[in-house]
Amino acid sequence: MCVATSGEVLKVENGIAEVDFQGNIVRAAAGLTEVSPGDYVLVHAGVIIQKVTKQDNDIMTQLLAEMEDAARG
């Protein structure tokens, strides 16, 4: 349940960010940390909880893809 995924912020408007997860654009609330377009962020349950480095973003993106593959069997 504590799974968080990372992506790149595309834009921020009225406290809501559009975050790019490998081409999948998702809206996430930005109320717990200040973010700007171009930032890489960690999103948990629809809320940005932290900024991350691009390197960490790449690692977590790969990890999530592997976990999804494993879940599909």
Partner 1 sequence: MDSEILRFLKEYDGDVIRIMEVCGTHTAEISRTGIRKMLSPKIKLISGPGCPVCVTVTAYIDACIEIAKRENTTLVSFGDMLRVPGSHGSLRDAQAEGASVKMVYSPLDTLKYAKEHPETMYVFAAVGFETTTPVYALLMEQILAQQITNIKLLTSLKVMPPVIDWVCANQGNVDGFLAPGHVSVITGSRIFAPLAEKFHLPFVVSGFEGEELLSSIYALIKLRGQGTVMNLYPSVVSEEGNTLAQAQVEKYFTPGDATWRGMGSIPDSGMYLRETYQKYDAGSLNLIEDHVLNRACRCAEVLTGKITSEECPLFGTACTTEHPQGACMVSMEGACFNHLTAR
- Which amino acid is present at 6? S
Q: Give the nearer residue to partner 1 in terms of CB position, either 12 or 42.
A: 42
The amino acid occupying position 10 is L
CA atoms within 13 A on the CB side of 39: 18
| CB of residue 28 to partner 1, shortest distance in Å | 8
Nearest alpha-carbon partner for 20 in 29, 11, 33:
11
- What's the closest the beta carbon of residue 59 comes to partner 1, in angstroms? 5
Please identify, using beta-carbon distances, which residue of 23 and 73 lies nearer to partner 1.
73
32: tokens are 């717990």
Q: Give the interface with partner 1 as residue ranges (CB under 8 A).
A: 1-4, 29, 31-33, 42, 44-47, 49-50, 52-53, 55-56, 59-60, 63, 66-67, 70-71, 73
